[in-house]
Structure 1
């Protein structure tokens, strides 16, 4: 299994304090001694990734992490790695000791998970020693779903695994379009004329969307914007039109209001991340002030838009009429000083998978930094957002 295949597996992060049994839990779940188990606190240093075929769900990646109560300078770095692992997880399993009450660190972590809206499950381990009644009362007050297990005696895992499978995302949650289109619907995709060869990654994203339409058994027609009027007339009014942001107004003016019109960028955002979060981020775009710090982030080292830096700067200035402080990063992680920024403007992630894109959203949420994408900003500046997002069943700003 190569790294790219592993990166596309749903990530399950196993977290908790030192010595609550995280590594033994991972070993029991996987059925193999893949993580070192010791009575000495802090055995796990860096995140340990373990591929697993979780039947009947399919392939997943289990990540064992360092304790959230680690100490010292090195301990602080390990906790940072754990937080990053949490931000990139599709499901977090928080392990607590059945004999103790919730600690301040565990309560802080639960608050983090609620804040970034990561799906999580709390597991009460070591029930062979009994369960602290005060702990159960605390979990009831928090309304937190929990399961009681004994890793040592392999108790409680059958029902737990069934629950984990129910909580994991299904592929069609990310990529299906069946909530906006129906079988035999006529889908017209309008591509801009003269798309440069270097924008091949965008073309691949377009192809993904076209393939997903075909998977829903729709009738897909592809044309250039110069052919739109003629093709649209021949189709006798398509059910939905998918095009580029700068073409939405042109296309919308030529079709009835009942026809859905949206953009490739919005669909990419919808498939790979959290479109409503980006739409909400537009509220900040309209309220920017002189001197606000804006971070422009690109997921790869060289984005296909050679002049995107200037486009984003121009768009933000034309909207706010304010002098803004813009910083740019290309590839890699978001900076540690992310909280200093008023807004994060991220690329559409054509070279990132769902987990990688969601990680960046979660990091922004943790720092209370609103986030939008290039595509969202482009549609907003062109006045295309209201119709484009309404066509996807999302309320506009």
Structure 2
């Protein structure tokens, strides 16, 4: 709770063959013995995530993956999990054992990096034991960015850190939450309902992050439950500059709030912060075209204990069935279990994505777009159902 959330950290994936030194690279970068190092092939089986604060990189997540040449009984499953890491990787490190050199496994990874538009650097590891002029010449001829590294002596490690910063995509840290639509001295009212799905004793991550962004913008915030909104508004000396509400209580808030007061929601903020607001706005229009038997995927980005009032598994399906009057079918995915083939769905509805990085959310959006499947998120959908979508997105059309 006191550190940068994993979803807001630069995700660095380390890829390569078994025993190429991937885990040793992680230990060298961090200066700690975080990853298990062994001469036994296949020591790393599933992707391992290490949240770290590394200078000069800053808050990041290092992802140690299984060897792509794993030919064991479970090798194919391990490689599939390694490939899924691409969905969330902002920067890739390809570790090449100087004794083995470049081969089909490395070339295939490079093709995948380029296809997924992941910036990458090649590490020629174990250079304290051997120097391969042939390998270096081959890398140079192909124009690859590479570094000669020794995890034993530390050679090249600082250059690696600097290179990671250099090639990191400009948008990895995401678009602002509200920092570009809130002015200094603004008064923002945050409506945070408390129901059985709310974690005990704390606010949820989107509410905390938006509150912090408001304060960082030199504005002020009043946090209130929907049941106390009317009373709080009557006590304010002047109307708030913006009201941000949980999407689930749009129906209540829109009846209380005068139309001249700007209104949006946490999930709508995240539609822009983590995803593509324009794609979500276009995707929600498909609601008017749904037919009996259409399949809808509700994609949650985290795993949580399901409550009776669960937004994705209970409320949204009920609202859609009532609104459309159609016999719709719903599939639910949670955490990282987003299908590669989504062509059978008429529509995908994703949560705000506070627990995943922007890279992974954009993967989901691009997967849907390539398949011709409409995609939107909770906040946009609920605003549309309540007939206030135009009002809810209006704050983002204004320049700060």
Q: Secondary structure at the match of 1:85?
A: helix
Q: CA RMSD in A?
A: 4.4
Partner of 2:124: 125
State whether residues 196 and 307 of structure 2, in contact with CA within 8 Å, keep that contact through their aligned partners in structure 1: no
Post-superposition offset of 1:304: 6.4
* Structure 1: distance between partners of 2:114 and 2:397: 30
5+ residue gaps, structure 1: 141-145
Partner of 1:343: 347
* Structure 1: distance between partners of 2:199 and 2:246: 15
List per-residue Cα deviations over 1:171-214 (Å, max 9, x = no partner).
9857753211121123234x38xx45425349813455334323
* Structure 1: distance between partners of 2:97 and 2:324: 52
Partner of 1:110: 113
State whether residues 93 and 123 of structure 2, in contact with CA within 8 Å, keep that contact through their aligned partners in structure 1: no
Select which of 292, 295, 299 maps to 1:293.
Answer: 295
Q: Secondary structure at the match of 1:198?
A: coil
* Structure 1: distance between partners of 2:6 and 2:392: 34
State whether residues 266 and 275 of structure 1, in contact with CA within 8 Å, keep that contact through their aligned partners in structure 2: no
* Structure 2: distance between partners of 1:136 and 1:179: 43
* Structure 1: distance between partners of 2:72 and 2:289: 41
Select which of 377, 384, 387 maps to 2:388.
Answer: 384
* Structure 1: distance between partners of 2:92 and 2:288: 35
Partner of 1:265: 267
Partner of 1:254: 259
Is the aligned partner of 1:215 residue 2:208? no
Partner of 1:150: 149
Post-superposition offset of 1:156: 3.2
Partner of 1:143: none
Change (3 A) 1:23 1:332: closer
Is the aligned partner of 1:67 residue 2:71? no
Partner of 2:188: 187
State whether residues 172 and 359 of structure 2, in contact with CA within 8 Å, keep that contact through their aligned partners in structure 1: no
List per-residue Cα deviations over 1:282-322 (Å, max 9, x = no partner).
35555545433212244422146257645423443466564
* Structure 2: distance between partners of 1:151 and 1:72: 28
Post-superposition offset of 1:216: 2.3
Q: TM-score normalised to the size of structure 1? A: 0.72
5+ residue gaps, structure 2: none
Select which of 319, 322, 328 maps to 1:324.
Answer: 328
Change (3 A) 1:72 1:383: farther
Post-superposition offset of 1:227: 4.5
Is the aligned partner of 1:177 residue 2:178? yes
Post-superposition offset of 1:360: 6.3
Change (3 A) 1:318 1:93: farther
Post-superposition offset of 1:66: 1.2
State whether residues 100 and 132 of structure 1, in contact with CA within 8 Å, keep that contact through their aligned partners in structure 2: no
**Which is further off, 363-372 or 165-174?**
165-174
Q: TM-score normalised to the size of structure 2? A: 0.71
Change (3 A) 1:366 1:171: closer
Change (3 A) 1:156 1:267: same
Post-superposition offset of 1:389: 2.6
Post-superposition offset of 1:77: 0.8
Q: For residues 76-91 of structure 1, what are the structure 2 equivalents within 5 Å?
A: 76-91=76-91
Query: How many pairs does the alignment contain?
Result: 372
